[in-house]
Amino acid sequence: MRILYLLLIVSCFFIGCNKKQHTEEYHKYTNDLINETSPYLLQHAHNPVNWKAWNQETLDLAKAENKLIIISVGYSACHWCHVMEEESFENEAVAKLMNDNFISIKVDREERPDIDQVYMNAVQLMTGKGGWPLNCIALPDGRPIFGGTYFTKEEWTKALTELSGLYKNNPKKANEYADKLVAGIQKSQLISVNNSQANFKSSELSEAVKLWQEQLDYKEGGLVGDAKFPMPNALSFLLRYSTQNKDKAIQTYVDTTLKKMANGGIYDHIGGGFSRYSTDVKWHVPHFEKMLYDNAQLVSLYADAYLATKNELYKKTVVETLNFVEKELVAPNGAFYSSLDADSKNKEKKLEEGAYYVWKKEELQALLKSDFSLFQKYFNSNENGLWENGNYVLFKTQSDKDFALQNKLTLTELDVKIKNWKQILLTARNKRSRPHLDDKTLTSWNALMIRGYISAYRAFKNPHYKEIALKNANFILENQLQKDGSLYHSYKDGKSSIVGFSEDYATVIDAFIAVYQITLDEKWLNKAKQLTDYTMTHFLDKKSNLFYFTSNAATGLITRKMEIADNVIPGSNSILAQNLFLLGHYYSNDTYSKTAQQMLNNVKEEALQSPTEYYNWLNLMLNYTGNYYEVAISGKDALTKTSQLQSYYLPNILIAGATKESKLPILENRFADDQTYIYVCVNKTCKMPEKDVAVAVNKIKNGL
């Protein structure tokens, strides 16, 4: 059931919805969503449904008119919400049924993950599954009584008719069911406080990994199943675990997965960047939406993998993905946009999934001419790469080295051809109708992208990557951080909005710690600490030492939820626990350290039993079960030596550094004018300082 639950939750990132582009033409209908900034909400602004945004005024209206509420949740860069819009929400008869009997609310799940969390939980309890579009019917006070994902027009009409009749004729029954469902929502995912002494054993971690291995697809990579989902931070954990434990089988598995993804159709070989997931076991045919959070985390993963293996494929993947991000998803002010749609207009001007990315054989032949035959073999534009309707999705099944050898080419000759092919096809593709851009900026996803750029900078030393990371970090400071120390969640059209969630604090704190580690500017570490203190004041449940998803000032929801399990993005609690662990070391802060340890102890049993759902907690557990090193570098050359140290794959170290006297406890009284020293410490005990980075690295790799 746990594996099923994970797949259902993960699937929520996949079953999508597409945004239609509205031009300055006459529209028969316009509803309240026309006043919103969310691209997803604006998509529905000209439906005949009297859609409203989620706000107190709308909730009060439902109570005043004693009407059931339709809560319809989706997001811009997907497919199936668009299908339901076209079939039901653009149908005048269906709209009349909705308008006469319900208050209809549209929610962008990316803007309001708190609302989505509550009603997704309700639908999962009712149906055993979840995904988007998410459609829930609630009483006027917001308590849910019915829900599901995608409905055909007939199913939707039938449900609305029956539910409106039930509420009018038997409101008592509806209320009784709502009471039971809300109780279930409040009890679900509750974590009991573990009052036993924290004791984390490497043997327990090994057993959890063995349990995980039963689900690994060693041939194709990813997990065993009919579709493949990139889980970047889960793979990051396995990369770290296999390196620290010298587990060759898992190292090979991670390498296989990374190669399959980078060579597969899930990766855009012409423009760079990854799609959300593949619909088949070979990573060939993707669901074509491109999300910022996927690409951010995959950049970090591939950059770390490059440090561990020096595989040039991983470097190329990072470089091309960041080129895509900068071309498609970066605003002039340094903010990152959210996503590109899966659908775009085909030659017949109709929306079609993947139309921007796929190729007909005749088109390839006309563009590539005499080179088509070689291109066809390289990118499998044959029966292997055929998708549907005569369309090919490009993907590779050989390394460049093997392909060049087989086709009597040097690697240099092949590289020249590949670059030429890509430029020709990119030029042709740019003439097509482009997928729609979701141009809102989300604080949490931007923080993930900061981390991605920093990972790339550490691996490749490209100062441009550092510059982009700093520009976005300053964007967050200047726009998303309020005077009272709180964060906004969203930004669009020059306006910051929506009170931040624990995911925003968790990811920004993590990003700011990473910025400190490449700049040694303690401003960023201090900002991370300030945000941590704010989070502990406004989000922490002192009974469980775990964090709510919404702050103590949030209103309008039927319950406060906690995000415990890890998903495509790690859960906010596991990221916060990691942050507290690090900041506890930096500041010698026992409260931080004890909170992190208690959080892990609370979820330990669940994590060991369901490793795929708690991988980021297991990553934290590695800090307690194996050697974990504090590396303090102090002296005028500290930044240079820090950069050198970061050229190694060392996932079990914390780096602190200063080019002058520092009051940071980990660095205090360690500065010398004439030398730069490297202190390698474990549990506040340090060996003799070293001057040479390579010597310090050997100490770490050999366990001192």
SS3 label, residue 493? coil
What CATH number does domain 203-343+438-625 carry, 3.40.50.300, 1.50.10.10, 3.40.50.720, 3.40.800.10? 1.50.10.10
- Measured CA to CA, the distance from residue 344 to residue 353 in angstroms comes to 6
Q: What does the pLDDT average to over 609-625?
A: 97
Cα angle: 158, vertex 115, 619; to 5 degrees: 120
What was the pLDDT predicted at 698? 92
Q: Is the peptide bond before 133 cis (omega within 30 degrees of 0)?
A: yes
Better-scored residue on pLDDT, 364 or 190: 364
Q: Please return the burial class of 18, using the count of CB atoms within 10 Å of its CB with bins 0-12, 13-18 and 19+.
A: buried
> 16 — phi, psi (to 5°)?
-100, -165
What was the pLDDT predicted at 78? 66
Least confident of 1-10, 84-93, 453-462, 662-671: 1-10
Q: What is the pLDDT of residues 467-499, one digit of tens each?
A: 999 999 999 999 999 999 999 999 999 999 999
The kind and range of the H/E element at 325 are helix 312-328
What was the pLDDT predicted at 704? 67
- Measured CA to CA, the distance from residue 527 to residue 161 in angstroms comes to 53
The domain locations on the chain are 2-187, 203-343+438-625, 357-431, 629-701
What was the pLDDT predicted at 18? 40
Residue type at 308?
A
Could you report how far apart the first and last alpha carbons of the chain are, in Å?
43
Q: What is the β-pairing status of strands 102-108 and 68-74? A: parallel
- Measured CA to CA, the distance from residue 528 to residue 536 in angstroms comes to 12
| Per-residue DSSP letter, 562 | B
Q: With b meaning 16 or more CB within 10 Å and e meaning fewer, what string describes 507-527? A: bbbbbbbbbbbbbbebebbeb
> 127 — phi, psi (to 5°)?
-115, -15
Cα angle: 260, vertex 324, 16; to 5 degrees: 70
Q: What does the pLDDT average to over 640-657?
A: 97
Q: What does the pLDDT average to over 281-292?
A: 95
- Measured CA to CA, the distance from residue 193 to residue 207 in angstroms comes to 23
- Measured CA to CA, the distance from residue 393 to residue 270 in angstroms comes to 11
Entry pTM: 0.92
Task: Name the β-bridge partners of 685.
Answer: 682
Q: What does the pLDDT average to over 342-358?
A: 89
Residue type at 302?
Y
> 436 — phi, psi (to 5°)?
-75, 140
Those residues with Cβ within 8 angstroms of residue 124's Cβ, 6 or more apart along the chain or in another chain: 5, 8, 130
What was the pLDDT predicted at 17? 41
| Residue 15 near residue 80 (C-beta atoms within 8 A) | yes
**Structure tokens that stand for 659 in this block:** 């080019």
What was the pLDDT predicted at 397? 95
Q: What is the pLDDT of residues 675-690, one digit of tens each?
A: 999 999 987 777 889 9
Could you tell me how many helices (H) and strands (E) the chain has, helices first? 26, 25
The per-residue pLDDT of the chain, averaged, comes to 93
Those residues with Cβ within 8 angstroms of residue 418's Cβ, 6 or more apart along the chain or in another chain: 378, 400
Those residues with Cβ within 8 angstroms of residue 73's Cβ, 6 or more apart along the chain or in another chain: 106, 107, 108, 109, 115, 116, 119, 120, 132, 133, 134, 135, 136
Q: What is the β-pairing status of strands 629-634 and 653-658? A: parallel
Q: Is the pLDDT of residue 505 over 90?
A: yes
Calculate the CA dihedral of residues 468, 471, 474, 480 and round it to 10 degrees: -80
- Measured CA to CA, the distance from residue 516 to residue 513 in angstroms comes to 5
Contacts 24+ apart (CB under 8 A), 662-666: 662/522, 662/634, 664/522, 664/525, 664/586, 664/587, 665/586, 665/587, 665/588, 666/585, 666/586, 666/588, 666/630, 666/632
- Measured CA to CA, the distance from residue 107 to residue 358 in angstroms comes to 31
| Per-residue DSSP letter, 312 | H
* Strand positions, DSSP E, 605-676: 629-634, 653-658
Q: What does the pLDDT average to over 338-361?
A: 91
**Structure tokens that stand for 407 in this block:** 């086709």
- Measured CA to CA, the distance from residue 441 to residue 330 in angstroms comes to 10
- Measured CA to CA, the distance from residue 435 to residue 355 in angstroms comes to 9
**Structure tokens that stand for 428 in this block:** 């042709």
Q: What does the pLDDT average to over 558-568?
A: 92
Question: SS3 string of 402-438?
Answer: HHHHHCCCCHHHHHHHHHHHHHHHHHHHCCCCCCCEE
CA distances from 237 to 272, 302, 448, 621, 651 (A): 25, 13, 16, 11, 10
pLDDT band at 189 (very low <50, low <70, confident <90, very high): low
pLDDT band at 66 (very low <50, low <70, confident <90, very high): very high
pLDDT band at 601 (very low <50, low <70, confident <90, very high): very high
pLDDT band at 532 (very low <50, low <70, confident <90, very high): very high
- Measured CA to CA, the distance from residue 512 to residue 505 in angstroms comes to 10
| CA-closest candidate to residue 28, choices 92, 99, 121 | 92
CATH 3.30.465.10 holds for 2-187:
no
User: Given CA atoms 398, 399, 402, 403 in this order, what sign does their dihedral have?
Assistant: positive
pLDDT band at 177 (very low <50, low <70, confident <90, very high): confident
Q: What is the pLDDT of residues 102-149, one digit of tens each?
A: 999 999 999 999 999 999 988 888 888 888 899 999 999 999 999 999
Least confident of 14-18, 155-159, 279-283: 14-18
